[in-house]
Chains A and B, each alone.
Chain A
Amino acid sequence: MQFDKPATTNPIDQLKVVGKPIHRIDGELKTTGRATYAYEWHDPDMQYAYGYPVGAAIAKGQVISIDSSVAKQAHGVLDVLTTLDLGDLKKGKMNTARLFGGKQVQHYHQAIAVVVAETFEQARAAATLIKVEYAPEQGAFDLRSELDNATMPDPSTEPESSTGDFHAAFVVAPVTLDAEYSTPDQSHSMMEPHASIAAWKGEEVTVWTSSQMIDWWRSDLAITLGIDKEKVHLMSPFIGGGFGGKLFLRVDAVLAALAAKTVGRPVKVALPRPMMPNNTTHRPATIQRIRIGAEQDGKITAVAHESWSGDLPGGGPETAVMQTRLLYSGDNRMTAMKLATLDLPEGNAMRAPGEAPGLMALEIAMDEMAEKLGLDPIEFRIINDTQVDPEHPERPFSYRDLIGCLRLGAERFGWDKRARPATRREGSWMIGMGVATAFRNNLVMTSGARVTLDQEGIITVETDMTDIGTGSYTIIAQTAAEMMGVDIEKVAVQLGDSRFPVSAGSGGQFGANSATSGVYAACVKLRDAVASKLGFNSADAIFENGQVRVGNRSFPLSEAAGAEGLVGEDKIEWGKLAETHQQSTFGGHFVEVAVDVYTGETRIRRMLAVCAAGRVLNPITARSQVIGAMTMGAGAALSEELAVDMRRGFFVNHDLAGYEVPVHADIPHQDVIFLDETDPYSSPMKAKGVGELGLCGVSAAIANAVYNATGIRVRDYPITLDKLIGRLPEVV
C-alpha cells in the first residue's frame, strides 16, 4: 500500500480496540519468566557450548600476536578463535568499526578473541589465559583538543543550512545570547546485554539474538560471514531494551556464528557488562555553540546552532542541530556540524539521536534568552512558535500544537508558582521549576506484515517487527483486531523472525506508527480476500463482532476462512507527503527540583510531560514510553557520563556501578498527558512516534529548574554537585 494522500476515515477510526488502555498481551509471559530472551533459548536436544569474548586492552594499534596455547589446554575448552585467525572479515554496511577479524585495533575492548568451552565458567576462566602482544599507536581521544581538526561531515548528513543573513541580523539584534554547551558521551545501558546463540545446519545458520532491526542484522551478518542472506535465519522475539544499542549488528552474533561453525555445535555468546560501553556503540559527546538574537518584544530575528562531535574514521556526526532548523521562527538562521576523528569506540544512534543532545543545549539557551528579555520562558517560546518550516516557509507542519502542550502543562503543573531564581527555600532545600520544549520528527519506514485468518476465526499477524519492551505486540494486536472486527483475544502476534515480512523495526520512534500501518495494509488485503471469498464487494463489507456483514447477510469470519484459511500480505510504503508537510511530534516538559544548599545535591521532586504526537494507539504503552524517556533524561541531566581517560583512550566507568543511571529513589513523581489529536498526514493510523519524544528536552527542563532553584547556570552536562558547589551560598 502506498500512503501518498492524507488518510480519510478508515476502520481504525472506530477506536473499539485501538486507543484503548489494554495491558501488554505479552506481559504475563514476561512477569512469569516464560518470555524467552536471546541467551535463554534452551533446547534439551542441543549441546550448547559457551563462548566468552576477549576485548582489546589498547585503544589503537595492532595485535602482533595472540598466544592461546595455554587457554586451549584449559579444562573444558573446545577451541579459541582469534581475530588473527580470520584475516579481515567484511564489515557490515551499518557498522563503522570492524566487529572482528584482522590485526587492527580501532578502539578499546574491540573483540580480539572468543574462547569456546563446555560451560560459561570454563570459557570465562580460560579467557584470562590468553596472552596478547600489541603494537600500540597514539590516538586522539579528546574532542575539545581536536576541535580545530574537525571537518565538515559527509554531505549526505546535511551538515549545514542557512536562511537569510544570520550574521547581519545577529549584529544588530537588540538582545543577544552567545553561549557554549557540552554534552558527554553516554551509554545505552539497557538491562539485557547483547547476547546471541548460533546453530548451523549445513551451510545455513540460525541465530537467536537481541536485535532491534532484524533485516539490518541479517544482511550485515551475511556480509560479515561472507554467505548469502538467504542462508541466515534470525530470531529475536523478546528484547530486554535497546535504546539504539541494538540497531546494528554486534559482535556477539558474529562470534557465536563463527564459533559455532568452528566447534560444530551451537554456541552462546553474551557480552559481559563491563565490556559493553567500550565494545559497542555510544551516544557521542558534543560541544555546541548557540547564538540567538531577538527584538525587545521577544521575536527571534537570528539563530545559529553549531555542533562539534567526534567519531572513528568513516563515522558520522551527532546531528545535534537538526531541531533548530524547525523548532522556532526567525528569518535569519544558520546551522552547522563539524566532525573530528576520534579513536574512542564507535559513536552511533542512542534514543533520539541528534535531538536529545541538541535540545539539551537549545532549550537552556531559550531559557537564558527569555531571562535576558524579561519574558516568561513559556511566553518566549509561544511568541516564536511557527506553523511552517522556517527554512522553507512554503512547507507547513502537518499538525503542530506546541502551544497547546505548553499552556496545558503550565496550568496543570502550577507554573504560576515559579519564583525568581534562588528565592524559594524549604529548609535546606532550594526549590526551582524549569520548562523546556520537547520536539522530535516523525520518521516512517517501509513496513510489511502477513495476516492469516484460520477456521477457528483466529487472526495471526507475522512480521519481523521487534518489541524492545515498547509494546509492539500489543498495538499490533489492537490494529489487527480493529481492522478485522474481532476481540483482541482472537489475535495472535508473532514478531522478530527473519522468515516473516520485513518491517520497520524499532528505532527513531518510527516503529509503532510504521509497523501498525504495515499491519493495517496487510489487513486491508485480508479483508479483500474474505470479501471476495464470500462474493462481497469489499468496500461494502462491515467487519464486526467476528462477523463479516453486507446488508443483512452476515457470516462468521471462521466460515469465510474455511479449512485452508485466508492470507493477506502487504507493506506500507510512503509517498511524498513528508516533502510537502513537515511531520513532527511536540511536547512540554515541566520539572521541579530541590537543590541542597549545603551539598549541591539535586533531587527531582516532580515531572510532567504534555505530549502531542498524533493518535495515541495505547495510552498505557505510550505513557510507559514517555516516563521511561523522562527517566533517561533525568540521568542525562544529573549523572550519566562516560568518563574518558584521555591518555589511554577508553571509557573508564564501564559498568553499572560507575555509569550512574537513575534509580527509583531519583524519580519520585511523573505525570504524562497526551493531547487528543490525530494527524492524517502521518499514516492510516493517524499516529506518530512517542518513544523518543519524551526524552527530548527533559534534561534541559531539569537544568533550567536547577537554575531557577540556585541562580547558577550550568552549561556542561551532567549537572553534578561539583559544578554547583563553588557558587552556592555561604553556609558554614
Chain B
Amino acid sequence: MRAFSYERAASVEAAAQAAAHNPESRFIAGGTNLLDLMKLEIEKPSHLIDVNGLGLDTIESTAEGGLRIGAVVRNTDLAAHETVRRDYGVLARALVAGASGQLRNRATTAGNLLQRTRCPYFYDPNQPCNKRLPGSGCSAIGGITRQLGVVGTSEACIATHPSDMAVAMRALDAIVDTVKPGGERRSIPIADFHRLPGNTPHIETELQQGEIITSVVLPPPIGGKHIYRKVRDRASYAFALVSVAAVIQPDGTGKVAVGGVAHKPWRIEAAESELPNGARATVSILMADARPTDQNSFKVDLLERTLGAVLAGARG
C-alpha cells in the first residue's frame, strides 16, 4: 500500500471538487473493496476522500412513489428496510446473498455498484491484465476462466462484475444520481451505468473523474414475485457462478437481469417477452451472443436451468 493522505469532505460538492483536483484521489465509503485493492497496490490512490458523513445515509420515498437510497446506506440496513423488504424484495434478497454479515455492515450502496472484478489474474500483480495495467494483455484468456464472463466479453477482457445488488437494481430499472465536480447533477439509468470491456476494460462505468454518487433511485413498486437466485460452489460467502434477479407477474410476464456472466449486470429487455414461453426461449435471447470458454460454457446451460427454477418458483 502506498502512503496516502486522507480528508473528510465538508459537502458533496467539496468532495467532487477535491477529487477533480487530484486525479490520483479516490472516494472511500465502506472501504471493503478499495482497501483490499490498495494493500495489493492494484489501486494506488495518493489521496482518499471520505464520503461518509455527507448526509448520504438516508432512505426516503420519492414524490413519484419510488425510493431514494443514499450512497452510503449500508447493505445491511438497506436489506432490512421495511419498504425494501415489502416492495423490492428482489433487492433485499440479492443483498443478503452477497459477502458476509460483517462485510455488509460496512459495504455501501455506491461502493457495491463500483466494486471491481474478482478475476484472479486482476488480483495478482505479477500477471498481465488490461484492466489493472492497460495494454499489458489479458492473462485470463487461455488460462483459468471458470468464473469469468461468457457474454459481452472482448478480446481485451472477459471479466465479470461481481455484485449481487447491482443485478437486482438492473431488474428494477434503478437510476444512479450523481454530482459532478462543477456541481452539475445527473441521473444515469443503471442500464448505462456500467460499461462493457471493449478495448478499455479499465474504464468500468460512465462516471467521470471526481463525479460522486449521491443516491440510487428505485421507480415505484411494480408488484409481482421477487426472486433472487444465486448459484455458487459453496452455500455462502462466495461469488456467483450465475445469478438471476427476477420480478415475475401473475400473468407470467416480468423483468429479468442476470449476474456472473458479463462485465455488467446483464439484461436484454427483448428477451423478457419470451418469459411466458419459458426459460429456454428467454435465455436463448439473453445468451444469443455468448462466447464462453471451454471452462465456463456450463454457465449458459446453468443459467437456463436457474431461470427455470426461478420461473417454477414464481408459479409455485
Residues in A lying within 8 Å of B, measured CB to CB: 57, 75, 121, 124-125, 128, 274, 428, 596, 598-601, 603, 638-639, 643-645, 647-648, 652-655, 657-658, 660, 662-666, 720-722, 725-726, 728, 731-732
A599 to B232, CA, bound (A): 9
Contact of B121 among A125, A128, A652, A664 (CB under 8 A): A652
User: Which residues of B in the span 274-309 have a Cβ within 8 Å of any Cβ on A?
Assistant: 278-280, 298, 301-302, 304-309
Which among B2, B39, B142, B298 has the highest number of chain A CB atoms within 10 Å? B298
B235 touches which of A75, A603, A722 (Cβ 8 Å): A603
Contact across chains for B309 and A599 when beta carbons are under 8 A apart:
yes
Q: Beyond A647-B142, A663-B234, list 10 extra A-B contacts (CB 8 Å).
A: A596-B309, A603-B235, A643-B146, A644-B144, A647-B143, A652-B121, A660-B234, A665-B235, A732-B304, A732-B307
Is residue B189 within 8 Å, beta carbon to beta carbon, of the partner chain?
no
Kindly count the residue-residue contacts between A and B in the assembled complex, taking CB atoms under 8 Å apart.
105
B236 (CB) vs chain A CBs: closest residue:
A665
Interface pair A722/B309, CB less than 8 Å apart: no
Min CB gap B4→A, angstroms: 10
Is there an interface contact between B233 and A274, defined as CB atoms closer than 8 Å? no
The one of A75, A596, A639, A653 in contact with B234, judged by C-beta atoms closer than 8 angstroms, is A639
Q: Which 4 A-B pairs have the closest CB atoms?
A: A732-B308, A665-B235, A598-B309, A57-B126
Measured CB to CB, the nearest residue on chain B to A599 is: B231
A663 touches B236 (CB 8 A): yes
Q: Beyond A721-B302, A725-B298, is A121–B279 a contact (Cβ under 8 Å)?
A: no
Which of A128, A603, A639, A732 is in CB contact (< 8 Å) with B41?
A128
Across the two chains, which residue of chain B brings its CB closest to A121? B1
Task: Confirm or deny: B241 has a beta carbon within 8 angstroms of a beta carbon on chain A.
Answer: yes
Q: How large is the interface on B (under 10, 10 to 19, 20 to 34, 35 or more residues)?
A: 35 or more
The CA-CA distance from A39 to B305 in the complex, in Å, is 48
Are A726 and B235 also in contact (CB < 8 A) when A721-B241, A732-B280 are?
Answer: no
Contact check, B280 vs A639: say whether CB atoms are below 8 A apart: no
Q: Nearest chain-A residue to B278 (Cβ)?
A: A732
The answer to whether the Cβ of B238 comes within 8 Å of any Cβ in the partner chain is yes
Q: Which residues of B contact A (CB under 8 A)?
A: 1-3, 39-41, 118, 120-121, 123-127, 139, 142-144, 146, 231-239, 241, 278-280, 298, 301-302, 304-309, 312
Residue of B nearest to A604 (CB): B235
Q: Which residue of B lies closest to A74 (CB)?
A: B3
27 residue pairs from A and B, CB less than 8 Å apart: A75-B3, A121-B1, A124-B1, A428-B309, A596-B309, A598-B306, A598-B308, A599-B302, A599-B306, A639-B233, A643-B120, A644-B144, A645-B143, A648-B143, A652-B144, A655-B123, A658-B120, A660-B233, A660-B234, A660-B238, A662-B234, A663-B234, A665-B237, A721-B231, A725-B301, A726-B301, A731-B305
Given contacts A598-B306, A643-B144, A660-B238, contact A124 B233 (CB under 8 A): no
**Closest CB-CB distance, A125 to chain B, in whole Å?**
6
Chain A neighbourhood of B304, CB < 8 A = 732
Do the beta carbons of B235 and A274 come within 8 Å of each other?
no
Cβ-neighbour of B118 out of A75, A428, A657 (below 8 A): A657
CB atoms of A722 and B146 under 8 A apart: yes
**A121 surroundings in chain B (CB, below 8 A):** 1
- The minimal Cβ–Cβ distance linking B269 to chain A, given in whole angstroms, is 21
B123 touches A274 (CB 8 A): yes
Q: Is the CB of B305 within 8 A of A598?
A: yes
Q: Which residues of B contact A599 (CB under 8 A)?
A: 231, 302, 305-306, 309
Q: What residues of B have a CB within 8 angstroms of the CB of A601 in the complex? A: 231-232
B153 to chain A, nearest CB (A): 18
A657–B146 Cα gap in the complex (Å)? Answer: 14
| Set of chain A residues within 8 Å of B144, measured between Cβ atoms | 643-645, 652-653
Instruction: Give the distance to chain B from A59, nearest Cβ to Cβ, in Å.
Output: 10
Find chain A residues with CB under 8 A from B298 CB: 721-722, 725-726
Query: B305 touching A725 by the CB < 8 A rule?
Result: yes
**CB-defined contacts of A654 to chain B, threshold 8 Å:** 120, 124
A68 to B281, CA, bound (A): 59
Closest residue of chain A to B307, judged by CB?
A: A732
Bound together, the chains give a CA A596 to CA B123 distance in angstroms of 32
Q: A598 to chain B: which residues have CB within 8 Å?
A: 305-306, 308-309, 312
The docked-state distance in angstroms from the alpha carbon of A644 to that of B298 is 19
Chain A residues with CB under 8 Å of B309's CB are: 428, 596, 598-599, 731
- Nearest CB of chain A from residue B294's CB, rounded to whole Å: 11
CB distance from A189 to the nearest CB of B (A): 13
Give the nearest-CB partner of A667 in chain B: B235
- Residues B279 and A720 in contact, CB atoms below 8 Å apart: no
User: How many Å from the CB of B316 to the closest CB on chain A?
Assistant: 9
Nearest residue, chain B, Cβ from A56: B126
**Is the CB–CB distance between B120 and A653 below 8 Å?**
yes
Contacts of A655 in B (CB 8 A): 123
Knowing A598-B305, A725-B298, A731-B308, the reply to whether A125 touches B231 (Cβ < 8 A) is: no
- Please give me the residue from chain B that is nearest to A601 by CB atom: B231
- What are the residues of chain A within 8 A of B305 when measuring CB–CB? 598-600, 725, 728, 731-732
Shortest Cβ gap from B83 to chain A (Å): 28
Q: How far is the CA of A121 from the CA of B2 in the complex (A)?
A: 9
| CB-based contact B279/A732 at 8 Å | yes
Kindly identify which residue among B40, B301, B308 contacts A274, using a CB–CB cutoff of 8 Å: B40
